Structure 1
Amino acid sequence: MPEYLAPGVFVEEVSYRSKSIAGVATSTTGFCGRTHYGPVQHPGGPGTTAPRLLTSYAEFERVYGRLQPYDDGGLPYLAHAARAYFLNGGRRLYVSRVYQALTPGSGVAEASVAVPSPTPSVGRFRARWPGSAGNVAVTVTATRGGDVGIHVPGGTAHAKGVGPGTVLEVVPPGPMPDRDAPIDQSRLRVLQRTPGGPPDAQTFMDSAGNAAPPGIDELLLPVEVTVAVTVDDDRVDVYPRLGLAPGGRRALDRVLDRDDPQDEDCVIWFDYDWSAPSASPVWLLLGLVGDAAPSRTFRLTGGDDGAPLFPSALRGAEAAPDDAGRRATGLAALAEVDDIAIVAAPDAGAMPDPDARFEATQNLIRHAEDTRYRIAVVDGPENASINEIRAFRGNFDSKYAALYHPWIEVLDPNGPVAAGVPTRKLLLPPSGFVTGIYARNDISRGVYKAPANEVVFGLTRFESTINQGRNEVLNPENINALRFFPGRGNRVWGARTLSSDPEWLYVNVRRLFIFLEHSIDQATQWAVFEPNGEALWRNITRTVEDFLDVQWRTGALLGSTPEQAYFVRCDRSTMSQNDLDNGRLICLIGVAPVKPAEFVIFRIGQFTADARG
């Protein structure tokens, strides 16, 4: 109750309506697995390794690499799954990269930059992440700006519009030097503030650290560098006109920073120890471009794609509570992203060892169960027969997972190696395609509609043919078939979870409850620590009823009236005095979800022409 201590008019804002519940997004997906490049925790690497949100496959390629096979010949199943996901209608994808080094600390590409100072030092261009995609070419080119020199009374030179640490080239009056002219060390100066002088007092230092003021008629040309990073034939990242002084807004070590570069998707970073006694922007410039030509190319080497994944690496590890540098990895990193509603691990089904495949799939399902508000899309083994897929399915029982069979054949997106050579075909796990269909179904219809009888895009055929007889074996065991129908194309023909509980038989029912629970959870946090009385109970009841009424009107709940579709109770009938004394508010909610018409039956019989009624 507000205090009124002096006479006056007091205007107060109050609310006479219930709070609104906004439905959470259900189409956001998370993938975990091996990629060519991208954010991953490694010794000496950036601290920003959280799963990256992607909204297109082009963005995926820029961050996590392309579709070429790995160094060991394995296929990048996660990259292919991401491509299939966006092709089938997915819009938001988080990727948690897993990398296993061949030897401890290996896999990160780098190139040395010999800095010819009085005490020689070494700078390095380093790949920000391990992987063969870090073996890039870095071309550094010196660029000269226009004359910034003026002369104040008394014949003193002054550089206008540039800051301390700027490298200047002193040029005799006359024609400007050619763009391709070599850098002359003897003409280089570093601009510094005069110690103890006024703010605009300047000193020009040569490479030896001695004062060397320019002549009365000489020009002062700023010297900067342009860095071009050639990643592949289709991608060249250019960072123009970078300064060499440390700490500037456009400084080389600021734009190409390890942890916070100006380009979030920057492939490399520049490592140089500015605390060394002879560290100087002039010497650094000479190390980068030399004095024989204004350009030099460095080739980073040592990056590799690492080893094939183990189930434990896919599971990952929680963030260390006492060490901020040890962040969550693998599936544990995806658990920290609250937006995700669908998860998959395309590499799990491709593991050749059956025990490893079982453990990896088990880790994926356990992840979905622990996080509660997401469902796992599970891949069966490649080339699995009916008996093999049934045996694989028999290992699991979970209402938070769904299994799809068989694998999917596609044309290799990398194309033929030569003209006239047929494009080879690849077999891919179905999870990338199916998660995209989940997302497309949620966007076009709603989470309450079963993600089945939906067309699969981006394939040539399914690995094996599932006919009606085989489907009658698979469907009762909750194995969702992918089938081809002449005249209707390739479709998902199943919508069952891996649960033995008939209450949670269907994927859409499980996902509808995830949607309802997560939405109510997020939107009622305001109620915590409110006075636990009749006013709060009425407010919560109205809030939840309004939300469920919207879901009933959209077709998510069964019943011809709201009373048949749902109920909400929050009063003394749901709470005892002991509950109130211990700070508990208990609200009971019941909903009648719509279930898919899995078996559509028409009964047709004969009747005589004179029959009645």
Structure 2
Amino acid sequence: MPEYLAPGVYVEEVSFRAKSIEGVPTSTTGYAGVTRFGPVPYTVGDVSATATEPRLITSFTEFERVYGSLYPLELAADPGRVAYVAHAARAFFNNGGQRLYVSRVFQTEVADIVTGARKPVDDYIAQLTVPTSTGAAKWRARWPGADGNVLVDTQAVRSKNMAFKYPVVAGDILARHTWGLQVKNVRHGAVIELTLPSAEVPPQKPLVGNDTLVPARLYVVKVDADGKQTFVNNAGVEGPLPEEAGVQAALVELKVTVYGADNRLDAVNELATHPDQRRYIGKVLELNDPEDENALVWLQWAPGADEWAPASLAVGLQSADKRLAGGKDGELPGPDDLLGQEADPDVVTNKATGLEALGEIEDIAIVALPDAGALLSKDAVKAAADALIGHAEKYRYRIAVVDGQANSSLTEIREFRGQFDSKYAALYHPWIEILDPLFPPVPGVPPRKLLLPPSGFVTGIYARNDIERGVHKAPANEIVRGLTRFEININKSRQDVLNPEGVNCLRFFEGRGNRVWGARTMSSDPEWKYVNVRRLFIYLEHSIEKATQWAVFEPNNERLWTNLRRTVEDFLYVLWRDGALIGAKPEEAYFVRCDRSTMTQNDLDNGRLICLVGVAPSRPAEFVIFRVGQWTADAKS
């Protein structure tokens, strides 16, 4: 009860209604697998990549910028491997998906067969040494992969003449007119270039554009507590600038242009080379928190104690070679690599990997492994499917879309399906053929085609179905977009065999196109036979859990029970009204009980509040049956 200690008028806010439940998103999808580039945890020496969580992608263009293109991967044991995750992402967005998280899996080759030790990730990261007079800097690709072998062009950008002298001002306690030549609008650590007409015969002229930086003409600005500037030359000597007629001082900044794969071009301007500068190159282009979170490269450099180091770095970056080298795509990961590892609770830099990284993202409701069906053996395919199904069961509020192997016969796909029993997974068959987008059609030349696993297409259809109709609608009898044909033609007699066993078929119908023609889970429990029923309950359970957290530690009495009961009933009423539940009246569609009949005194004594919720989900009309017979009408008189 609130305290009232002093006389006065107290205005308090109270609520006279039940709290509402907001439905959780159901169309957000997560993939784990191999990509050409992108975030992945690794450590090089004492440097760890920490900004490696799966990225939220909302278009295929964004996917290409973060994770690379559709071009094949040059893996050590599987050169020219199809980039299945990239193609799955493309199919996902083509089929109506809108939100996709991608967890990149990167595996290095085995260095020691006996111990199983693997090569360091550093061997797969493109880099370029930048010699300077104060040590060596390095351009490094931010992530391992052949796409890191980029061109980096660093150009000098010179300002106009910024030299000036303070005038004599009466009462100036700093006597700034005695400071000599100063430079406008620069901070401590700025690099300036001096032009002295008397220094050479013929006289020096100001350098322009990207003219080569000359160390003897460069100075690094130092600023003391009063704002007085002194200058350090390439010999490490600090002092004032020489004063003579016609002297000019230009601020030197850098422009870095990165030429990436697939005609990607990134440009970063107005870069400085000292940590005290607002746009310090080591901050703007750093590993973990760059200005552009999708930057291709980062600069590894420690300035040290040398005060002329910023100028030395500018000279080295401008004159260095342009091409980074050494980036490689690594090895094909196995099922354990795709599953990944949980984050280390004791070492903050050891991030979660693979599917476990997706487990940390609460919004994900659909998961898939586009690489799994194309692993090198049947045992590996089965193990990867086990890992995916286990992940969905572990995190409860998501469903796994499973791929079989390519070229699976009727017997092989039945055998594969028979190895699983889970209400959190669904299997789709067969694989899907598309025109290879990397080879545009040429007149007179047969178009090149690719076989892709169905998971990318199906997860997009799940998302489209949720957005357009709702999670209660079975994601079946939906058109599959962006294909030429299915790998094999499944007719009714074949589906008569596959459908009862929980294999969802993809079929072509003359005049109706290519469609998903199945909506069953991989469960033997008839209560959870249908995908939409399983996903509806996932939606209900997750929404109720998230929206009722306010009830924890509230007084466990009739007032709380009534409030919770009304909250859940209001939520279920909306679902019934939208057609997710069957029943002519709300009381036929659901019930909510939260009272003394659901809790014993022992429950109350141990802090337990138990609310029973029963719903009648609408199941799909999988078999639409019309019974037609002859009828003889009565003769009219």
- TM-score class normalised by the smaller sequence: over 0.9
Out of 122, 126, 134, the position equivalent to 2:148 is 134
TM-score (norm 1): 0.96
From 105, 110, 125, the equivalent of 1:108 is: 125
1:97 pairs with one of 90, 95, 104: 104
SS in structure 1 opposite 2:24? coil
Check whether the contact 1:148–1:160 (CA below 8 A) recurs between aligned residues: yes
Q: Does 1:86 align with 2:125?
A: no
SS in 1 for 2:103: strand
Aligned pair 1:250/2:243, yes or no? no
Partner of 1:221: 250
Whether the aligned pair in 1 keeps the contact of 2:232 and 2:307 (CA below 8 Å) is no
CA distance in 2, matches of 1:276, 1:479: 67
Deviation at 1:519, TM superposition (A): 0.3
Alignment of 1:546-565 (within 5 A): 546-565=570-589
Letter paired with 1:190: V
Look up the SS of the partner of 1:298 in the other structure.
coil
Q: CA deviation at 1:178?
A: 3.0
Query: How many Å separate the matches in 2 of 1:87 and 1:351?
Result: 25
Distance 1:75 1:285 in 2: 41
Which residue in 1 is equivalent to 2:160? 146
Alpha-carbon distance in structure 1 between the residues aligned to 2:227 and 2:305: 27
Residue 224 (structure 2) pairs with residue 208 (structure 1):
no
Provide the TM-score with structure 2 as the length reference: 0.92
Q: Secondary structure at the match of 2:628?
A: coil
| 584-593 or 208-217: bigger deviation | 208-217
Q: How far does the alpha carbon of each residue in 1:405-458 deviate from its partner, in whole angstroms, 9 at most, with x for none?
A: 000000111015977533310000000000000000000000000000000001
1-structure distance, mates of 2:584, 2:105: 50
CA distance in 2, matches of 1:276, 1:34: 42
State the secondary structure of the residue aligned to 1:169.
strand
1:382 maps to which residue? 406
Provide, for residues 17-58 of structure 1, a one-character-per-residue CA deviation record: whole Å limited to 9, x for no partner: 000000000000000011111000112242111100000000
Deviations 1:176-212 (A, max 9, x none): 5332432222111110024xxx421110111111135
Distance 1:553 1:389 in 2: 40
Amino acid at match of 2:556: N
Within 5 Å, give how 1:129-278 maps onto structure 2: 129-152=143-166, 153-154=177-178, 156-172=180-196, 176-194=206-224, 198-212=225-239, 213-217=241-245, 218-275=247-304, 277=306
- Asked if the contact 1:116/1:286 (under 8 Å) is kept, the reply is no
Structure 1 position 443 matched with structure 2 position 464: no
SS at match of 2:128: strand
Tell me the amino acid that sits aligned with residue 23 of structure 2.
Answer: G
Task: State how far apart, in whole Å, the 2-side matches of 1:413 and 1:297 are.
Answer: 34
Q: Which structure 2 residue ranges, 5 or more long, are not aligned?
A: 110-118, 167-176, 198-203
Pairs aligned (count): 601
Q: Distance in 2 between matches of 1:35 and 1:504?
A: 34
Listed as ranges, the matches of 1:401-412 within 5 Å are 401-412=425-436
For residues 145 and 422 of structure 1, the distance between their equivalents in structure 2, rounded to whole angstroms, comes to: 57
Letter in 2 for 1:606: Q
- Whether the 8 Å CA contact 2:95–2:460 is kept in 1: the answer is yes
Q: Aligned partner of 1:208: which letter? A: A
Determine whether 1:300 maps to 2:324: yes
Structure 2 equivalent of residue 542 of structure 1: 566
SS in 2 for 1:145: strand
Q: 1:518 aligns with which of 542, 548, 552?
A: 542
CA positional deviation for 1:60: 0.4
CA deviation after TM superposition for structure 1 residue 157, in Å: 0.9
**Shift in CA distance, 95/377, structure 1 to aligned 2, threshold 3 Å:** same
Measure the CA separation in 1 of the matches of 2:93 and 2:474: 20
Counterpart-to-counterpart distance in 2, 1:334 and 1:269:
26
DSSP 3-state at the match of 1:349: helix
> CA–CA distance in 2 between the matches of 1:247 and 1:411?
53
Q: Work out whether residues 156 and 216 of structure 1, in 8 Å CA contact, stay in contact via their aligned partners in 2.
A: no
| Alignment match, 2:421 | 397
Hey, what's the Cα distance between the residues in 2 that align with 1:547 and 1:469? 43
**Distance between the aligned counterparts of 2:303 and 2:205, measured in 1?**
35
Question: How far apart are 1:388 and its partner, in Å?
Answer: 0.3
Task: For 2:594 and 2:244, locate their aligned partners in 1 and report how far apart those are by CA, in whole Å.
Answer: 88
Mapped to 1, the partners of 2:179 and 2:583 lie a distance apart of 93
Q: Percent identity among equivalent residues?
A: 58
Task: Mark the runs of 5 or more structure 1 residues left unpaired by the alignment.
Answer: 291-295
Q: Deviations over 1:467-516 (max 9, x none)?
A: 01101010010100000001000000000000000000000000000000
- TM-superposed CA distance for 1:275, in Å, is 2.1
SS at match of 1:333: helix
SS of residue matched to 2:506: strand
Once the two structures are overlaid, the 10-residue window that deviates more, 9-18 or 247-256, is 247-256
Tell me, what secondary structure is at the counterpart of 1:179? coil
Residue 125 of structure 1 is matched in structure 2 by 139
Query: Given the superposition, is the C-alpha separation of residues 462 and 144 from structure 1 closer, same or farther in structure 2, using an over 3 Å criterion?
Result: same
Q: 1:20 to 1:324 in 2, by over 3 A?
A: same
8 A contact 2:188–2:277 mirrored in 1: no
Q: Please report how far the alpha carbon of residue 233 of structure 1 lies from its aligned counterpart in structure 2 after TM superposition.
A: 4.3
State the secondary structure of the residue aligned to 2:515.
Answer: strand
